[in-house]
Structure 1
Amino acid sequence: MEKVETAPYNETRRMQLRGLVRLSSEIIAHYWPMRTFIHHNPLHHLESLDFKEALKQGQQLLGGEGYLSNRIFREYFRTGRILPENVNAVLKPLAQDKYVTLGNRQITHFEVLRAHLLNEISPPAAETLEAFLKNSPDRLSLEALTEQLGVFLKPPSIQERIETSANEDRTGLGHRFTLASWCDRSLGTQILDQINGELIKWCEAFLDEGHATWPMPGREKGFYGAWKFLAGQEWSPCGIGDGRQKLARLPAHPEDALLESLTVLGIPSEAWQDYLSLHLAALPGWAGFIKWRADQAEYEWQQVYPADLVQYLAVRLWYEREWVAKTSREEMGIAGEHPAISSYLKRHPYVCFLRQERVAGDLPPRYAQQVDGLLYGWSARRIEAWEALAKGYAAECGPQHDRRARLSAAWRLMALAKTLEVDPAILSNSGSEDLRILLDWLNAFPESQHGPRWLEAFEVGYQEQLFKKLMPNVRKFKEAVSEQAQPSGVRPQAQAVFCIDVRSEPFRRHLERVGNYETLGFAGFFIVFIRYCAFGSHRETEQFPVVMKAKNVVREIPRTYQGQVLSRYRAGAQLVHAGHALLHDLKENVVTPYVMVESLGWFYSLPILGKTVFPIGYRKWTAWLRRRFAPPIATTLTVDKLSKNEVEEMLVSEERAIIRRALRERLGRHGAHISPERVEELRQRALNEDLAVGPVSPRDATRVSSLLESEEEEAAFVEELCRRYRINQRWASARMERITRTGFTLSEQAFTVETALRMMGLTRNFARLVLLCGHGSTSENNPFEAALDCGACGGNQGQANARVLAAFANKQQVRDLLEKNGLCIPQDTYFIAGQIDTTTDEVQLFDLEDVPPTHRKDILRLSHDLQEAGTHNSQERCLLFPEVKTLPPISKAARYVRRRSLDWSQVRPEWGLSGNASFIIASRRLTQGVHLAGRAFLHSYDYCEDPTGRLLEIIMTGPQVVGQWINMEHYFSTVDTNVYGSGSKIYHNVVGRLGIMYGPQSDLRSGLAWQTVMSGERPFHEPMRLLTLIEAPRECIDMIIGRHHVLQHYYDNHWVHLVALEGETFYRYLPEQKWVPLQVDILLS
């Protein structure tokens, strides 16, 4: 390629390009780090399109299937999972009031559609069909029908196919496929794989978050800058001629480099958005992670090592332009640019067609050899030779192609006749017009269009069964509103608030059977928006849905009486940390692993044996050992916001500690040898260098002079305090802001408690105990363990949120404020925080030190009943595992699920949220006692407590959005586990502490594993769109939908089914705020 001289681009062009890249990236979804796995819709940014159209775009750009295979749907029909009446209902809108006559029978359009949907009528491949014909008992009938179809069936000739192929390539170049992919498809190159391989290599190295032993140097330059520098050090970058010189000439700005590449490739400006989308869709995992990271301005890795999609595309398109130029020049003798390739297609369609057929393997062997001869030979008549070969191919193979097309049509008609129980011999005696109509009907409803109809029938079947289950409760409580106005005289034994997670539904059901418990469902973050820093951790986790933001920070700290135990804990924790660090260094060293195998290899046999053979006993032993080294610490949370004076005192204390550390590190003297006055003097001088340094006391004069021998050294030390240790006004303000974000004011606490209680409908008849139960999970050797935690808590465990809300609600000052707002909590009501382990069904209660003596017996009874409910839930869950064939006893069930959680070879510790299908926003009376099989998100809500609809609006735009993301994650991971899912766990390879690859090198796998959604070859998760059922007036729902585009996209574009329960009638939502009543009574009859 010739040297490119490009004028510098101005900032306006760069801003326009950034905006274009943002639009282009709509095809890919964000990819969150695996430590906080976030369930998401992989086509989230296409929700402004109709569901079917979005699936088409996803298939075109990402290559993913949008529906289960027709084979699986037909299996569902044969087993009764999809009912005949549901199939009939979804086909009737398609059927025309027409028929054809075969013999003495009239075949309606509806019958043909139904037969085509329920049976495999598509013909096998051409070669298989010919073999089938030779051995078929219907050979003579097929031959006769094939000849008869020749009267009217005229498939396109090869000449027409050549012209059509060339025209489609010209119009699609730059819009439907890149220049690199066109070269791969037409010339047999592997440019796309080469580009992907290079980008994976550089992304893996640059985006690493501490996993690599030798980190990539120069990452502070940004992704583009680091790549440009390091790639330029290679001897011959990817075999590109003059590669080092070309890299050196690249612009400093990634925007300029990307604009330059688009110009060099000759991509028309109107195709830029499509073209960039194609490149982003080539590696949606890595591109999705970069997209997410670029949007996280406060993310520590992004702040230090910036990356964005403009930089990513600048690198990617540089490789493409160089390799396409080289290939085009060598293979076609033209420039590697859009206009040249388009012109070549127009001038030489025969060459392109034959080469594409050769690459696809569709040419007969003789013609394949001749094409190879032309490829590797050269003569002045090369183009003429290609055209002559194409004409010979058309003359010889054209009739064969026509015959196969007619044979294929005959096979389809024969299969249809057998399905309709019509004698196939009748087809040969039927008129050509009737046969043509039958073929037109089949062609108008191809296999590719069956998926949407199957899905509708699949969903309707589930929905009807759900409404049947709920209808008795609707009738039973039809007077519930008037009855609720009367205060109930019976207090529940306790009220337990669980997350809306589908795994809570069976546990709630079992707990209600154990005793007089009232259970409620609420988003697992309990509307507590916090950034949480656990004790012993230096990283804050975002404990709220990712669609929201928070500024308040809560820290877990030891309780005041834990001084002696805390010292033991810290000493043990330091020892354990040092041991881990030493072992890590020994393992990662170049030499020591050879010695370790011989000297320490035996040591690893103990954990291997324990984890494999005795997982429960081994876990108990390691827990005991850990307690010996680092005893557990009783902790509390910093839920109260500090006063201004307290903040200033904390800030001063932090700065003094930093100065003492600096004295120890830089001057080798322990800070205790310096008087507090001198430390304060250094602090003040660092904060304001203009401040005069006060006189040094005689007691410290000798000591100070030995530390800082001259004023110049002291000035240098102060300068280092300012810059390296950040003792300056700017960082003081930043620390002040961080400290002031800790905790909540009293009014914020009262507002949070009131909002939570009103949203869940808990405003009267409080029990003595109210359990706020978050959830988490326990598993071994599971990179995606966070996928089993709480989605509403940002992919983290929910205990922190439960503890914070309980602490708020137990404060008398908070209750006093609530009473002024008409929400009275009895004095004897106590809120207790807990967390259920969804893998083992065990519930842990927190902050038991704060429980008053009057409630200790209540706590003991609650603990016992939670344990009993958990064992029953474990027994129910056991039958869902494919290895369990019979219902185990209660005791064995609890031990079995615990063993699964500790087994490091277990690829499926639990089913997680697989099976989710509905989101019910209603009071518990609607679902109480109903076995929902762990398939429903249950969010408590009482519309009588929400006259303005404000609380319902929060639920619909917050928790429901999280539920829809979970639903779509499972949907797409099931319908195409290799594209939208992450494939089998067997091949997972953790990379960069941020995600997994498939094997040693691949795109980041973003979805759920095959073992999470599949049971054998059949899906365990039934992929269907979420059904949201809301018990509220339709008028209120309409107003909320009208205020939010996200809800309009969900319901009007068919991403979510919406049904309202008003009175005793279910109403289905149709686009543009139309409602139709559902005849549930007919279903019950």
Structure 2
Amino acid sequence: MKAASTLSKQLIFKYEHQAADFNIDELVQSAARVIAPLWPIQTFAARHPWMGLEEQTFEQTARRLKQQLHVDIYPKSSIFRSAKQRGEIDESILEKKLMEWLDSHQPGMPGETAEAFCKAALKLDDIPEQLLSSPNVKKLAKQAASRTIDDRETRFIKPLSVFAGQKTAHLLDHHVIKWCKLFLDESHSAWRLPHREKGFYSAWRQLVEHDPALPRAERQRLNGWPEEPRDALKRSLRALGISDGDVQAYFEAHLLSLPGWAGMMLWRSRQSRDEERLLLEYLAVRLSMEWMLIEPYLPLSEPKPGKEMQLAPLIAAWLHWGGITSDEWLELSAAEQKARLTLARRFDDITCRRLWLEAWEQTYAAEVRKLIAANKPAAAETSEPVLVQLAFCIDVRSEPFRRALEKSGPFETFGTAGFFNLAIETCELGSKHSHSSLPVILKPQHRVKETAEESSFQSYQEHQKAAVSLSSAFKMMKQNLLAGLLLPEVSGPWLSLQMAARSLIPRAAGQAFRKARKAWLKKPQAKLSLDRMETPDAGIPVGFTEEEKAAYARQALQMMGITDRFAPLVVICGHGSRSTNNPYASALDCGACGGASGAFNARVLAALCNLPSVRQRLRSDGIFIPDDTVFAAAEHITTLDELQWIYVPELPAKAQQAFDRINSALPDVSRTVGAERLGELPQLGYKNPRHEVERFAEDWSEVRPEWGLARNASFIIGSRRLTRGADLEGRAFLHSYDWRKDEDGSILSGIISGPGTVAQWINLQYYASTVAPHYYGSGNKATQTVTSGLGVMQGNASDLLAGLPWQSVMLSDQEIYHAPLRLLVVIEAPREHIERLLEQDHRFRRKMENGWIILASIDSHGNWENWTNTK
């Protein structure tokens, strides 16, 4: 121990004043590619965990995570077997995938031998543990140790604390989590971290030497430690013996150790200049503490498995799947043994499950192709003139509602991004704070406020302030030692009554509390600040200029495909959800917009399209909106399967007729969609479907108020004629698109880069939470701890959990609900349009070529073409 300590101090002394030949800031930013930004849970946004790794193939990323973290991102064997039993995987496609793989690899042995081995391995039958550890296999591996095998795995760097023992690695994580919680707390703690304003590293540096959770000897090791995080990082790296060429890889390994907390630091670092080096500070704290904990054990290095240990599983594979005995193995020549070992190395478990996943995805694509081909648009269309056109978000939950609505009358629906291309942040009536109401990958350019007459607004504001003050007082009393003793006596009767009501009659109680709050607040009819207003600061402007109003309306109408043949009533439908006592409530709202409902945007767009000045400008662009066409706004409540009106201006006769017609159809539509959705939710049975739907939204014990976007699998870009009448089972994002109106491809490019990206993020968020719930999910919702107003943990010392809870993707502990398939993107356009898109959008092309999405197209004659072989 003493010698190791002396060596470590010598390393520090040697490198303390040496100028590093690398840029520490650039290496930190480059290392950040292995994690994804994590938004606070109240602004939950879909998060593609591997967004920075798309320059690699999906398989390469899978191999890295498997080797470095023991995290498997291909579905496990039991998931594939269940899918096969349900008829979701076509065995003929699986066999075809195998033959394609064999054709692309020269096995160096008779073809029938290689095929028989691979077919046996493809059954996903695990090699018995007793065979793997048998003395006979070890003996054969020892004899074959001289064989050189092709395709050796790349070795990935791991934190040195891992090699000091799991206890040390867990202890490091425990301390880092503690400091992250204290620093990132969003005013939920009664005690604020001292020196927080100086930054994460500085606050830690001044307090860590007084941390009672650390032994005195460990704290003393940090005496004289650098005051600046960059210097601390460099000193830690030198003391740990990390070579310059391994620095980025070492940073990556530490970021992957706690991807949730590291992801939150990454997100915060991108929000303001004051915290732009927060991720660097996080690594400085983590590596400094790692050195402090393992200093007595230095130098440490990763133990390398012997050649015999590498060969034993490969030989066991041939004994188990190859149908040969030990004697037969020994009779093979050296070249024959090498060829078989190489094949076993190449056709490993990851390769097998890659082929299974591709077969599953291609089976689903074939089903979508069949549905579209069998669809008869003419039969689905009514001869009655369209009375109402409705624009919905592309969210998969809109698909069943649109399908039921179109069957109920002369209604036409369209799909578009749920923020309706409005780059706005919204400020609701009486609120001093605004929030972005657009996808998190974009930045707001305008602010829209709600305003009201002073007489009615004053009363509402007073009631709102009283509600906020009451909530703040309750929180302060809970956190105060003396007041906390009195609080149960004061609040007990009311809270007991509320608990009993919400537990025994959740539906009635929830609706009663909601109505009582609404009646007490008395929110007046609010107007929107659509006209540009002069603001004293240089921040985001309030309202729009006349040119901007027309530009936003034109862009929105073009993206949703409503530029002619306007119906008397056009409804812009945002969407939101409703649930009680649910940390993931925002995850059930718009998956793109950070948990914001699209209702506000819908109201803004409808109001813009009703302005005479906007319509006049649109005419110069060839968009003629009839004078008697009226735009209205509604909100699709996905938990209730309801369409609730939020903005209905004065209606002329035709529009009023259309409004009455759709209002009469909506109750039946809600019942139809609700019954379809209830059939997918696990439950013990119900007497009244409508009451059960309402209970799910109000019951505070309900862990699964709705499925959200589970089972999403495809993104179809094209005219509604492709899919109208087809039952896509709520699995498809549907975006309206007419290639005939997109001569330069700009509309398609915008769909792919915006909604297409968000759909992929949503898809891979659900995928990751299903295949690796322990690493990318968030565990059982019933045992989650809401932490510091940021997110959830399991217990009080876990990573900040970035994914979806178990109940969002699983029917039970053993049975999945979400099918983990990569997103199938189907574009209705001629071949040359797809080629132009791939030539211009290199990022999209890379996603396709590297197997992060699957691309198909349908030309003007209805011919389907697959564009990619997934990797």
Q: TM-score, normalised by structure 1?
A: 0.73
Question: For 1:945, which of 723, 726, 741 is the aligned residue?
Answer: 741
Q: What residue in structure 2 maps to residue 906 of structure 1? A: 702
Cα displacement (A) at 1:402: 13
SS across alignment from 2:443: coil
Question: For 1:603, which of 494, 510, 515 is the aligned residue?
Answer: 494
**Alpha carbons 2:371, 2:726 under 8 Å: kept:** yes
Q: What residue in structure 2 maps to residue 156 of structure 1? A: 142
Q: What residue in structure 1 maps to residue 437 of structure 2? A: 543
Show the 5 A alignment for 1:1056-1071: 1056-1062=853-859, 1063-1070=861-868
Show the 5 A alignment for 1:587-598: 587-598=478-489
Show the 5 A alignment for 1:52-201: 52-95=59-102, 109-125=114-130, 154-156=140-142, 176-184=157-165, 190-201=167-178
Cα displacement (A) at 1:427: 10
Show CA shifts across 1:230-249 (max 9, x none): 223346x72252735x5452
1: CA distance between counterparts of 2:532 and 2:731? 40
Q: What residue in structure 2 maps to residue 459 of structure 1? A: 361
What is the root-mean-square deviation of aligned Cα atoms in Å? 3.5
Show the 5 A alignment for 1:839-918: 839-848=639-648, 850-851=650-651, 855-883=655-683, 892-918=688-714
Matched, 1:241 2:38: no
Cα displacement (A) at 1:565: 3.6
- The 1:548/1:61 distance shift into structure 2, 3 A limit, reads farther
Cα displacement (A) at 1:71: 2.4
Cα displacement (A) at 1:616: 1.6
- The 1:1049/1:402 distance shift into structure 2, 3 A limit, reads closer
Cα displacement (A) at 1:571: 2.8
Show the 5 A alignment for 1:381-396: none
**Alpha carbons 1:293, 1:307 under 8 Å: kept:** no
2: CA distance between counterparts of 1:628 and 1:402? 71
Q: What residue in structure 2 maps to residue 1002 of structure 1? A: 798
2: CA distance between counterparts of 1:403 and 1:1027? 38
Which letter does structure 1 place at the counterpart of 2:32? S
1: CA distance between counterparts of 2:704 and 2:503? 15
Question: For 2:850, which of 1032, 1046, 1053 is the aligned residue?
Answer: 1053
Q: What residue in structure 2 maps to residue 736 of structure 1? A: 537
**Alpha carbons 2:568, 2:654 under 8 Å: kept:** no
1: CA distance between counterparts of 2:715 and 2:313? 48
- The 1:582/1:114 distance shift into structure 2, 3 A limit, reads same
Cα displacement (A) at 1:793: 2.7
SS across alignment from 1:591: helix
Q: What residue in structure 2 maps to residue 495 of structure 1? A: 389
Bigger CA drift: 467-476 or 1011-1020? 467-476
Matched, 1:225 2:23: no
Matched, 1:291 2:266: yes
Q: What residue in structure 1 maps to residue 821 of structure 2? A: 1024
Cα displacement (A) at 1:317: 1.1
Matched, 1:984 2:780: yes
**Alpha carbons 1:223, 1:307 under 8 Å: kept:** no
Matched, 1:38 2:45: yes
**Alpha carbons 2:315, 2:341 under 8 Å: kept:** no
Q: Whose radius of gyration is greater, 1 or 2?
A: 1
SS across alignment from 1:1030: strand
**What fraction of aligned residue pairs are identical, expressed as a percent?**
33
1: CA distance between counterparts of 2:660 and 2:593? 28
**Alpha carbons 1:61, 1:281 under 8 Å: kept:** no
SS across alignment from 2:562: coil
Show the 5 A alignment for 1:668-817: 735-738=536-539, 741-817=541-617
Cα displacement (A) at 1:122: 1.4
Q: What residue in structure 1 maps to residue 446 of structure 2? A: 552
- The 1:306/1:93 distance shift into structure 2, 3 A limit, reads closer
1: CA distance between counterparts of 2:840 and 2:313? 54
Bigger CA drift: 257-266 or 36-45? 257-266
Q: What residue in structure 2 maps to residue 447 of structure 1? A: 349
Q: Which ranges in structure 1 are unaligned for 5 or more consecutive residues?
A: 131-145, 329-335, 346-351, 358-393, 418-423, 481-487, 652-734, 1073-1085
SS across alignment from 2:566: coil
**Alpha carbons 1:532, 1:553 under 8 Å: kept:** yes
1: CA distance between counterparts of 2:667 and 2:593? 25
SS across alignment from 1:518: strand
Cα displacement (A) at 1:600: 3.7
Q: What residue in structure 1 maps to residue 292 of structure 2? A: 322
1: CA distance between counterparts of 2:219 and 2:433? 42
Q: What residue in structure 1 maps to residue 834 of structure 2? A: 1037
- The 1:922/1:159 distance shift into structure 2, 3 A limit, reads closer
Show CA shifts across 1:396-432 (max 9, x none): xx9xx9999899568615xx66xxxxxx9x9989994
Cα displacement (A) at 1:201: 0.6
**Alpha carbons 1:99, 1:107 under 8 Å: kept:** no
Cα displacement (A) at 1:63: 3.6
**Alpha carbons 1:291, 1:309 under 8 Å: kept:** yes
SS across alignment from 2:476: helix
Cα displacement (A) at 1:801: 0.9
Q: What residue in structure 1 maps to residue 528 of structure 2? A: 637
**Alpha carbons 1:491, 1:765 under 8 Å: kept:** no
**Alpha carbons 2:377, 2:722 under 8 Å: kept:** no
2: CA distance between counterparts of 1:985 and 1:824? 51
SS across alignment from 2:481: coil
**Alpha carbons 1:920, 1:937 under 8 Å: kept:** yes
Q: What residue in structure 2 maps to residue 701 of structure 1? A: none
Cα displacement (A) at 1:989: 0.5
1: CA distance between counterparts of 2:279 and 2:326? 59
SS across alignment from 1:209: coil
SS across alignment from 1:791: coil
Aligned residue-pair number: 852
Matched, 1:516 2:502: no
2: CA distance between counterparts of 1:895 and 1:884? 14
Which letter does structure 2 place at the counterpart of 1:59? K
- The 1:36/1:109 distance shift into structure 2, 3 A limit, reads same
**Alpha carbons 1:543, 1:801 under 8 Å: kept:** yes
SS across alignment from 1:224: helix
Cα displacement (A) at 1:1066: 1.1
Cα displacement (A) at 1:313: 1.0
Cα displacement (A) at 1:874: 0.3
- The 1:512/1:794 distance shift into structure 2, 3 A limit, reads same
- The 1:463/1:476 distance shift into structure 2, 3 A limit, reads farther
Bigger CA drift: 958-967 or 526-535? 526-535
1: CA distance between counterparts of 2:637 and 2:692? 14
Cα displacement (A) at 1:543: 1.4
Cα displacement (A) at 1:270: 0.5
- The 1:21/1:752 distance shift into structure 2, 3 A limit, reads same
Show CA shifts across 1:766-809 (max 9, x none): 10100100101011111111111112333311011111111110
SS across alignment from 1:964: helix
**Alpha carbons 2:424, 2:448 under 8 Å: kept:** yes
Cα displacement (A) at 1:613: 1.3
- The 1:255/1:100 distance shift into structure 2, 3 A limit, reads closer
2: CA distance between counterparts of 1:9 and 1:954? 51
**Alpha carbons 1:222, 1:306 under 8 Å: kept:** no
Cα displacement (A) at 1:737: 2.2
Which letter does structure 1 place at the counterpart of 2:660? L
2: CA distance between counterparts of 1:772 and 1:404? 63
**Alpha carbons 2:377, 2:725 under 8 Å: kept:** no
Cα displacement (A) at 1:746: 1.1
**Alpha carbons 2:124, 2:352 under 8 Å: kept:** no
Cα displacement (A) at 1:308: 0.9
**Alpha carbons 2:190, 2:479 under 8 Å: kept:** yes
Cα displacement (A) at 1:1037: 2.3
Q: What residue in structure 2 maps to residue 313 of structure 1? A: 283
Cα displacement (A) at 1:861: 2.9
1: CA distance between counterparts of 2:186 and 2:668? 43
Cα displacement (A) at 1:73: 0.9
Q: TM-score, normalised by structure 2?
A: 0.90
- The 1:638/1:475 distance shift into structure 2, 3 A limit, reads closer
**Alpha carbons 1:495, 1:518 under 8 Å: kept:** yes
